[in-house]
Amino acid sequence: MPPTGDVAWLERDVREIRPQGSTALYDAIYVATLLATGRGRPLLVAFSDGEDNLSWLDAPQLVRVLEESNVLVQVVGSVPPEELNPSLGHSRPQSPPEPRYVRTLRRLAEVTGGQLWPAATPERLAKAFPAILEAMRTRYVLRFEPETPRRLVGPASR
């Protein structure tokens, strides 16, 4: 779309967008993970409906890569609230299981310490990205370095 200040026109056109074609979500996250370099912990924000119908990698392969990477993945997913499991992380009885695509998006984020930010409506989408920025601004990192092991001296070496 060309630059414009006509918000109503933009909102109408965005509502008329219909997904089509193929998506290589897993391959895209994999490549972004490989390209993420630097001294700090790279942040990768993926915006997706969870559909992947073209990747060479599958979700379990990507999870293994993410587990060994230093990247922090935050996923903004076009996930309707009724498809989320509200009991996750709580002790109350389980709701119906989340659809596979929601579980996959959640897993891709959580394996790196990130989270799934549901954004199925324009209002939730408008809140998701600033919320991610705020989460990044207020995060902290714990680091542990073990002491240098002391050399054990047994009776035979005295």
Better-predicted residue by pLDDT, 79 or 108: 108
Helix (H) or strand (E) holding 132: helix 122-137
**How far apart are alpha carbons 12 and 29 in whole angstroms?**
30
Domain assignment of residue 50, given as a range: 21-86+96-138
- CATH code of the domain covering residue 102: 3.40.50.410
pTM of the entire structure?
0.76
Better-predicted residue by pLDDT, 33 or 6: 33
**How far apart are alpha carbons 24 and 18 in whole angstroms?**
17
Q: Minimum mean pLDDT among 40-44, 45-49, 95-99, 104-108: which range? A: 95-99
Q: What's the total number of domains in the chain?
A: 1
Q: How many CB atoms lie within 10 A of CB 77?
A: 25
Residue 61 lies in a domain: yes
| pLDDT confidence tier of residue 91, bands split at 50, 70 and 90 | very low
Per the listing, tokens 């993410």 go with 66
Beta carbons of 82 and 90 less than 8 angstroms apart = no
Residue 149 lies in a domain: no
Residue 49 lies in a domain: yes
Q: What confidence tens digit (pLDDT) does each residue in 39-57 have?
A: 788 999 999 999 999 999 9
Beta carbons of 74 and 46 less than 8 angstroms apart = yes
Q: Which of 19, 13, 36 is nearest to 101 (CA)?
A: 19
